[in-house]
Chain A
Amino acid sequence: EAGVAQSPRYKIIEKRQSVAFWCNPISGHATLYWYQQILGQGPKLLIQFQNNGVVDDSQLPKDRFSAERLKGVDSTLKIQPAKLEDSAVYLCASSKRGMGLDEQYFGPGTRLTVT
């Protein structure tokens, strides 16, 4: 079974530029998560989708971050405009149903550097 796929793996941009990340979850997984992992920290949830609907986006900086999962499968996360403090690894994860006992499977992440 293929794992969670993410692209690109690395991205370097200047502050105030825009960037987009793509995630393809494990086939059949209804729930998709985007996490931000700053160096030296654990992952922090940004947004959670159940199929194509948003379940939790309480920690998403909505003035600059947006995410969509239009067909309930793959997802994109966008930052516009980027700030220096957005430098981090952006992890995508998926789970079958998103219920409490469901394991979340993580992709390899996209490492973003904002200069």
Chain B
Amino acid sequence: GQQLNQSPQSMFIQEGEDVSMNCTSSSIFNTWLWYKQEPGEGPVLLIALYKAGELTSNGRLTAQFGITRKDSFLNISASIPSDVGIYFCAVMNYGGSQGNLIFGKGTKLSVKP
């Protein structure tokens, strides 16, 4: 089946550092999304990307939709302890009459104060 490759699998960083993670696919997708999941909670949407080459920011978060439509990256600037969690990329798979989401395996972020 279709698969998203997310890297790195985990990151341990110092508070204040910048973070970068990415997601690649062997197939073209027209909608890319980034979610954050905290322990005991469901994923929460951070950023949605709808156009190849698009660069979108949400506070300290910046995400880009690759020009080939096969990849995306997420940057977090000046990390803080509450950034801890698992970050998932996802794509909208338009099969049949409506789309559904395919998720990557996630990048686990740990921030040391």
Contacts and interface: CB of A to CB of B under 8 A. Distances in A.
B48 interface: yes
Interface residues of B, number: 26
Interface in B51-74: none
Contact of A100 (B31, B40, B103): B31
Chain A interface mostly: loop
Interface SS, B side: strand
A101 interface: yes
Contacts of B97: 55
Interface stretch (A13-21, A62-70, A74-82, A91-99): A91-99
B92 interface: yes
B100 interface: yes
B32 interface: no
A99 B97 CA distance: 9
Interface of A: 4, 31, 33, 40-45, 48, 50, 55-56, 91, 93, 98-101, 103-104, 106-109
B44 to A, nearest CB: 7
A91 B88 CA distance: 15
